[in-house]
Chain A
Amino acid sequence: MNFPILSTLIFLPLLSSLFIFLSKDQKNNRGAIYISLFASVATFLLSLFLWYSLDLSSPKFQFVEEKFWINNFIKFKLGVDGISILFIVLTTFITPICIISCINSVKDRVKEFLIAILVLETFMIGVFCSLDLVIFYLFFEAGLIPMFLIIGVWGGPKRVYSAFKFFLYTLLGSVLMLVAIIIIYWLTGTTDITLIQDIKIPKEYQNLLWLAFFSSFAVKTPMWPVHTWLPDAHVEAPTAGSVILAAILLKMAGYGFLRFSIPLFPAASDFFTPLIYALSIIAIIYTSLVALMQDDMKKLIAYSSVAHMGYVTLGIFTFTKQGIEGSIFQMISHGLISAALFLCVGVVYDRLKSRMISSYGGLVSYIPKYSFLFLVFALAALGLPGTTGFLGEFLVLAGSFQKNYIVAMLATIGVILGAAYILWLTKRVIFGQTNNEEIKNLKDINKLEIVMLVSLAFLIIFFGVFPYPLIETLNTSVDNLMMNYEQSLIEMNLAKND
């Protein structure tokens, strides 16, 4: 295959954003919206084609593109395997939904907003495609610029504080990763991850390097105690911003653990497993409790994201097949569910300009279609069997039971707490008394909103009942990941015994 399909995938949104930049201002910004919708849907279809033509039986990276970039130093190397393709498809699927959502909710500077979203899409796809540490870092960090603007320009009243917090937290976490990347280069002579895996980083360096990567991924995941930027960013970001943040940006860290931390530093990953377990359990239980106490809907969902990402990190570091597959499944599932919940909040926010739980109540009597979909997503979020939320949590818990009984028990408490805060939220928003007269005049969701929410609901239920396509895609790559991990641990131990 000579056609550079991955580069096309990455740069198509960027190119279309250039078109939007050059396009003339029109009434309602129709032109800009059409261009961006067209481009993002085309990207989505292209990524589906990529998924379709991926050879799932091979653990190798496919569609590899390699180009000399900086002389004798870094290659511009892209490639996908069974793990990354799912994240790419998730990204390209969520982006058109964000663009549709902004037709209703973004009123000023629509053109710039679309440009920011599309540029962000380019960087996000780039993160999931890159097979070189420097390229990865480049895309990983570059995503900060559009996201900073999305929060800061179109956000709520405290947007400046949130945008700064988001930017500086993430940047501070990432600079240490840059140091680690350069050190890896001097240790191994390359930044190509497939080569580094073969060369193997000396054990005495692994722990520090792992921590440097961890500092970046922990902020991005976000893990307790560096999660505080997330509620702020979510609350202040516009709907589309929250959706992208929750659905995709958070997944970059989980993906980073899978793609970089474990294969490159197997010994260190093994060594730090208790740390990850502890932080994950704290995230699951503590942030669930915090979520119970929120009176702002977006903040509640933000805290629930932290808890759900706790399952992801827990699952990855069980190093069991169920655990890892479960955590990837959980990431995809959380990507769909949290996107849907933020969209739901966005729908009522556009109408009432309030995110407070107390200003809603009894929505079911006035906007039944919306209430029905909200209920579906809420149930998926608490992990009802038959939705993707259940499968992800179940697999993670099944994986962790094999490794550590106590950890799994504690994580299960999180499931109960999760049910508590989601059900309580639903009770207060959808059912119950109507305290606010304005609710009686609310309009139910319009066609565009139905398209967005129903497509998400369909996928959540479809993959909840029929997870086979996702699991099958993952299967070989996860096997390969675990095989490499176990092999290098055995080698390390042999070396120790000698």
Chain B
Amino acid sequence: MINNLNILLPEIFLSISILSILMLGVFLKKSFNLIFNLSSVIIIVTIAIIFNSSNDTEKVFLDSFSRDSFSSFFKILILVSTFFVMNSSKSFICDNKIDKFEYPIIILTSILGMFFMVSSNDLILFYLGLELQSLALYILASIDRDNLRSSESGIKYFVLSALSSGLLLYGCSLLYGFTGSTNFDLISSELNSTNIGAIFAMVFILVGLAFKVSAVPFHMWTPDVYEGAPTSITSFFAVVPKVAGLALLIKFMFIPFANILLEWQTIIIFISVASMILGAVAAIVQKNIKRLLAYSSIGHIGYALAGVATGATSGYESSVLYITIYVVMNIGAFSCLYLMKKDGVYKENISDLSGISKKHPVLAISFLIILFSLAGIPPLAGFFAKFYIFKAVLEQNMYALAIIGLLTTVISAFYYLRIIKTIYFEDKSIAFDNVNNKVVQFTIFLSCTILISFFLYPSILNNIVNTLFFN
């Protein structure tokens, strides 16, 4: 039993740390800075712990919890992205008076939930992790509680998300009923396409998961929550839960539902195509950058799902690659928003970027790199992400999916170009306040450097991802 605890070390460390800084926060006054810095330290220590643990697959607690390279990879991705998202948003948090000490604690709690999600090998543990994460996210969405939009987005997210959780839970119970087990491995061996009840369960679970990664047609909450929530929360929403959600989706397809591939493949293809098209078309008319990024993230999830839809290991690998590069791009994009501050107010409209290239050449060129990467133009990293996806899709001879995906790339290039047009081609020259925020600048710099230099050694990420699916 004690040895088993060793395997849960990251989770245990995280839980104890969360509880202790919670105590600290309750008893100390004005403790936001301290708690914030402590949580950064906790994240780093957790990363170190995961790095030090071995990569062998081990399943403990009646096989309900599995530690393998897959979950470790996603945990590190979650932690690293949270680290950058949190630290780059610190001055934004302080400026907007949402510097409550609960803020970092809730973020850590949601991470803990995600940890259990990606490590779960059992329906019950998976559901508990998911709910822990979701509850934390509801609070985060409405953390600026005096702001009408923030509260509205929190409520909206809560109602819709609770509904989807209900469906998910219903699916889980059906699955248990028809297979007689809650364990992923056992479900996998029990399932086959003649088991109609289990296929119903699969549909329900897929709906719930699609909601969490905001894939069409369960995306309705995304633009509103992205726009309503404070930018610091939006950037968290755009990155971290997406990673966890996709990891979970891949895991479901890879283990419990591996035998009913033909049944779920059609659904995923539909969701993927719909997301790609809606993400590309609906973003064209947006004026608010956060809303635009919401639609763009829907589109990106569509591409990542196209990789899942192949039902092949190479496809899953390409999805993991895609989401990793997506994280880098989105952290960069949201960090740019923190520099759009004029007369002490953070700007969110595309028109506010008009002609900033004259006064802020470095911000402009960073934005340019990130946007071209999001559009998937070579030689930036975004191109490779798409390239791997389409390579995997075409391997399975899914020509229509690949061609639709590439055409939507062209459509979505249009709205990214529109932002670049606003930044570079317009004659106005807006000047933002001189924000001297080293952390944000460093984050943007790091993100751009990764995006540009990715083409020098594209195999680095490949090599890591290739080891994830060997169990």
CB pair A71–B424 under 8 Å, yes or no, is no
CB pair A179–B403 under 8 Å, yes or no, is yes
Please indicate the chain B residues that have their CB under 8 angstroms from the CB of A141 in the complex: 377-378, 383
A112 CB within 8 Å of chain B: yes
Please indicate the chain A residues that have their CB under 8 angstroms from the CB of B424 in the complex: 149, 152-153
Please indicate the chain B residues that have their CB under 8 angstroms from the CB of A138 in the complex: 378-379, 383, 455
Among B368, B378, B387, B403, the most chain A Cβ lie within 10 Å of the Cβ of: B378
The residue of chain A having its C-beta at the shortest distance from the C-beta of B455 within the complex is A138
CB pair A71–B462 under 8 Å, yes or no, is yes
A260 CB within 8 Å of chain B: no
A149-187 near B? 1/0 per residue, CB < 8 Å:
100110000011001100110011001101100110110
A496 to chain B, nearest CB (A): 26
A9 CB within 8 Å of chain B: no
CB pair A71–B383 under 8 Å, yes or no, is no
A450 CB within 8 Å of chain B: no
* Given the contacts A152-B425, A153-B425, A70 and B394 also touching, CB distance less than 8 Å: no
The residue of chain A having its C-beta at the shortest distance from the C-beta of B424 within the complex is A153
CB pair A179–B399 under 8 Å, yes or no, is yes
B407 CB within 8 Å of chain A: yes
| Contacts between the two chains (Cβ within 8 Å), count | 84
CB pair B378–A137 under 8 Å, yes or no, is yes
Please indicate the chain B residues that have their CB under 8 angstroms from the CB of A163 in the complex: 421, 425
B377-389 near A? 1/0 per residue, CB < 8 Å:
1110001000100
Q: Which of B39-47, B408-416, B438-446 contacts A (4 or more CB under 8 A)?
A: B408-416
B126 CB within 8 Å of chain A: no
Please indicate the chain A residues that have their CB under 8 angstroms from the CB of B407 in the complex: 172, 175
B377 to chain A, nearest CB (A): 6
Q: State the main secondary structure of chain A at its contact with B.
A: helix
A165 to chain B, nearest CB (A): 11
* Given the contacts A142-B379, A186-B394, A168 and B421 also touching, CB distance less than 8 Å: no
B405 to chain A, nearest CB (A): 9
Complexed CA–CA distance, A71 and B464 (Å):
12
CB pair A69–B459 under 8 Å, yes or no, is yes
Complexed CA–CA distance, A137 and B458 (Å):
16
A120-159 near B? 1/0 per residue, CB < 8 Å:
0000000000000010011101101100110011000001
Contact with A183, one of B383, B394, B463 (Cβ below 8 angstroms)? B394
CB pair B406–A179 under 8 Å, yes or no, is yes
CB pair B390–A182 under 8 Å, yes or no, is yes
The A34-92 residues at the B interface (CB cut-off 8 A) are: 68-71
Contact with B458, one of A70, A148, A153, A175 (Cβ below 8 angstroms)? A70
* Given the contacts A164-B417, A176-B406, A182 and B394 also touching, CB distance less than 8 Å: yes
B372 CB within 8 Å of chain A: yes
* Chain B interfacial residues counted at CB < 8 A: 34
Contact with B395, one of A68, A176, A186 (Cβ below 8 angstroms)? A186
The residue of chain A having its C-beta at the shortest distance from the C-beta of B458 within the complex is A70
The residue of chain A having its C-beta at the shortest distance from the C-beta of B361 within the complex is A112
Please indicate the chain A residues that have their CB under 8 angstroms from the CB of B140 in the complex: none
Contact with A182, one of B357, B361, B391, B417 (Cβ below 8 angstroms)? B391
B402 CB within 8 Å of chain A: yes
* Given the contacts A141-B377, A186-B394, A171 and B425 also touching, CB distance less than 8 Å: no
A252 to chain B, nearest CB (A): 14
Contact with A167, one of B402, B413, B425 (Cβ below 8 angstroms)? B413
Please indicate the chain B residues that have their CB under 8 angstroms from the CB of A167 in the complex: 413, 417
The residue of chain A having its C-beta at the shortest distance from the C-beta of B388 within the complex is A70
B442-471 near A? 1/0 per residue, CB < 8 Å:
000000000000010011001100100000
CB pair B379–A175 under 8 Å, yes or no, is no
B176-190 near A? 1/0 per residue, CB < 8 Å:
000000000000000
CB pair B377–A179 under 8 Å, yes or no, is no
CB pair A148–B417 under 8 Å, yes or no, is yes
CB pair B361–A185 under 8 Å, yes or no, is no
Complexed CA–CA distance, A178 and B358 (Å):
35
CB pair B377–A142 under 8 Å, yes or no, is yes
* Given the contacts A167-B417, A179-B390, A179-B399, A70 and B459 also touching, CB distance less than 8 Å: yes
A298 to chain B, nearest CB (A): 19
Please indicate the chain B residues that have their CB under 8 angstroms from the CB of A109 in the complex: 358
Please indicate the chain B residues that have their CB under 8 angstroms from the CB of A159 in the complex: 425
Complexed CA–CA distance, A302 and B351 (Å):
34
CB pair B413–A168 under 8 Å, yes or no, is yes
Contact with B409, one of A70, A152, A175 (Cβ below 8 angstroms)? A175
CB pair A145–B377 under 8 Å, yes or no, is yes
The 28 listed contacts between A and B (C-beta, < 8 Å) are A70-B458, A71-B462, A71-B463, A109-B358, A112-B361, A138-B379, A138-B455, A144-B377, A145-B372, A152-B424, A153-B357, A153-B425, A163-B421, A164-B417, A164-B421, A168-B414, A168-B417, A172-B407, A175-B407, A175-B410, A176-B406, A178-B406, A179-B399, A179-B402, A182-B387, A182-B394, A183-B394, A186-B395
Q: Which residues of B contact A (CB under 8 A)?
A: 357-358, 361, 368, 372, 377-379, 383, 387, 390-391, 394-395, 399, 402-403, 406-407, 409-410, 413-414, 417, 420-421, 424-425, 455, 458-459, 462-463, 466
> When A and B form their complex, which 6 residue pairs have the shortest distance between CB atoms, in order from nearest?
A175-B406, A138-B378, A152-B425, A71-B459, A182-B394, A141-B378
Given contacts A141-B383, A179-B406, 8 further A-B contacts (CB under 8 A): A71-B462, A144-B377, A152-B420, A167-B413, A171-B413, A176-B403, A182-B402, A185-B391
